[in-house]
Structure 1
Amino acid sequence: MNWCPVEWPTQSPRPTLARLEAKQSSKKAAMAALIGISSLLVMTSVVLGFALWSKTITIPKIIDQIESFICEMVTGEIPVNLRVDGKHDVVFTSSKDVKGLLVEQNIQLKSEDQVLPALTTSLEKNMDIEIIRVEVKKEYQHYAIPFKTERIANPEMARGFVKEVKGGKEGLQREVWSIRYENGVEVSRTCEVREELEKPVNSIVQYGTLSTVSRGGQNLRFSRALTMLATGYSYTGNNTASGIPPCSGVAAVDPAVIPLGTRLYVEGYGKVTALDTGGNIKGNRIDLFYETDTEALAWGKRHTRVYVLE
């Protein structure tokens, strides 16, 4: 029986120079990688710390960016900003264009709605997409059409008098407006139709042109005639507003209607001159002076025609 001599314990092969250099290089590479990673972490911490301190970035924003990066790398989806029906959301999509995104998000469009950008636009990361809901409503408005007045001269009527022969009536007009709303806000309105439903009926009046009347055998020329409420009055103990004592042929008037000093002819009384005023004499009123209270009371108060003489 032959015995093979064996050394105990076994001896490891002696390291060669190449093995030592390779091992040394691996350690250096590991150390360099560790130093690089540590430096990157330190720099990242400094940058993030400064950003947080200066408020140029927030924690939620960092989380959103991380989520976006993960989705893009893992699922191939990109984030886009979608604004529709008054809401703004960031959605992740793998669609290639805007139309595909709307189908993916189950967003229904009406015929008037607008999409910005167009449906065929290719999607890009962080693209802004807006759906403008458009609604067009009709509004009906009615307006009165004013009537005109036709004036006809009447030579048998005293100048200053007007008589309505036929009453007027307003017409009716309808307008149809188209009002455009975008996302519930009115942006424009256009009048599409303007039509006359009822024609106006013009009024007809006669105006007097007669400027001469014959009274007491005299032809009196006048500039205008008025119907006035006339009252008789007598001595009051005061002079007239013109400074003279009252006497027959003196009348008290409203200077805003008949200026003081104007010569008049009063039906039933005769010629007078406007020389006085009174506290109750306003508008188409006139007081006629009588020498006695009996005469003044006999006249009383009545409506009469007054001519303003030329």
Structure 2
Amino acid sequence: MFQNSRTTVLALVRRGRLGKAAVALVIFFLLACGILAFNMKTIKIEVDNKVIPVTTIFNTVGQALANSNLEFNPEDVVDPPRNSRITKGMRVVVTRSIPIHLTVDKQTLSVRTTAKTVGEAINDLSERYGLQIKDVDEVNEPRSEDLKEQMDIKVRRSVPVVVQADGKTINTFLAPRTVAEVLKKLNIVLGAKDKVSLALNHILTANEKVKVVRVAEKVETEKSEIPYQMVTQPGDYPVGLPDKVISRGSNGIQEQTIRLTLEDGKEVDRQILEQRVVAAPINELVSRGAQTSVSRGGQTINFKKAYIMRATAYCIPGGITKTGAPVQWGVVAVDPRVIPLGSKVYVDGYGSGRALDTGGLIQGNRIDLYMDSQAAAMSWGVRYVLIYLQ
């Protein structure tokens, strides 16, 4: 009886332990599934013009791609980058690389690139492999050509050369070739008379310089004026007054036919082939005042020069002039740059006077005349008169 009871107890204990283990295992499984479900993310991969959803538990784009059932190459471009952390609903764009063959320095590389054109591929591979391919290095395909799978791209190294032409200095790199071929490649077309510093069949080496001088000849017809001359004759009016035109002059015209030689646009030689007068010049005839004396009030006034001036009358009794003389009849205020102070003058309608005063407003051909009364000054007012410098 006692033995049966003990056996029953032990069986119950064993069953309890197994039950607990089973429960723990179930809980662990549920927790693992929960954690896995929590960490699982779905991203959309855009590749080959398709959008493919991929569910992953990995944290970075690169890990997700590497553990997907899709095939990718290390040269493929991934956006966002492979080291980016994944977020739910992330969109990943993969640009496939294609295989091509690149030959540089007699060595052929079989590589992959995502470039779209030959030029982009050369730039990409030059940077990636340290090839230092320059833009002017020779390429067997146009750099703008679309890139195709298994395309063979061949690059010829160039050397530095200097070409001077058309006012420009071109520092460039070209594969070794003759001067004529260099000019052709640079689209420099030679004229029949152009000069080149090196022989056209000379093969250029590094840092050699080629200078092209453009030589042109042209025949031009040039017309130029033949200036007319001024011929004067004595006039019957006071010296100093403006000349009077009797007949207008006009320039003549001559025509020359000229052969010009130009080097780089600069004239280096000219030859007159023909010259003729198209129209002869006509001289201008003017009358110039010659009188040095006039008769006024029965007396002869001799003078050096005559002026037409704006004359203003004034009356300020007891005033002192610029020269210190008292104001009185015959005192004339002048611009000393025109009529020197102290000069004797004769003013038509006023009479004899002397330049003894100046004034702030008396500039150029202007004078002030002193009057003995305000009435006389008002009567004179302002008028233009002939002034004779004696």
Q: What's the TM-score once normalised by structure 2's chain length? A: 0.46
1:269 and 2:354 aligned: no
CA distance in 1, matches of 2:336, 2:204: 87
1:66-113, CA deviations, whole angstroms, 9 ceiling, x for partnerless residues?
Answer: xxxxxxxxxxxxx9x8969756745368xxxx999999xx99753223
C-alpha contact (below 8 Å) 2:176/2:204 kept by paired residues: no
**Higher RCO (C-alpha 8 Å, min separation 6):** 1
Equivalences, count: 224
CA distance in 2, matches of 1:245, 1:100: 97
2:359 corresponds in structure 1 to 278
CA distance in 1, matches of 2:292, 2:204: 92
Q: CA RMSD in A?
A: 4.3
C-alpha contact (below 8 Å) 2:253/2:280 kept by paired residues: yes
1:53 corresponds in structure 2 to none
* 1:278, distance to aligned residue in structure 2 (A): 1.0
Could you say what secondary structure the match of 2:341 adopts?
coil
Q: 1:268 to 1:108 in 2, by over 3 A?
A: closer
Q: 1:83 to 1:240 in 2, by over 3 A?
A: closer
1:253 corresponds in structure 2 to 334
Could you say what secondary structure the match of 1:151 adopts?
strand
Please point out which of 290, 294, 299 is paired with 1:218.
Answer: 299
- Equivalent AA in structure 1 for residue 176 of structure 2: V
CA distance in 2, matches of 1:92, 1:277: 87
- Equivalent AA in structure 2 for residue 223 of structure 1: K
C-alpha contact (below 8 Å) 1:230/1:304 kept by paired residues: yes
C-alpha contact (below 8 Å) 2:232/2:288 kept by paired residues: yes
CA distance in 2, matches of 1:290, 1:186: 73
Structure 1 alignment gaps of length 5 or more: 1-58, 61-78
C-alpha contact (below 8 Å) 1:227/1:284 kept by paired residues: yes
CA distance in 1, matches of 2:329, 2:352: 10
- Equivalent AA in structure 1 for residue 238 of structure 2: A
CA distance in 1, matches of 2:300, 2:244: 24
1:190 corresponds in structure 2 to 269
Please point out which of 233, 236, 239 is paired with 1:159.
Answer: 239
Q: What's the TM-score once normalised by structure 1's chain length? A: 0.56
CA distance in 2, matches of 1:232, 1:246: 13
Report the more deviating stretch, 273-282 or 81-90.
Answer: 81-90
Structure 2 alignment gaps of length 5 or more: 1-131, 134-158
Report the more deviating stretch, 205-214 or 131-140.
Answer: 131-140
Could you say what secondary structure the match of 2:285 adopts?
strand
CA distance in 2, matches of 1:231, 1:270: 14
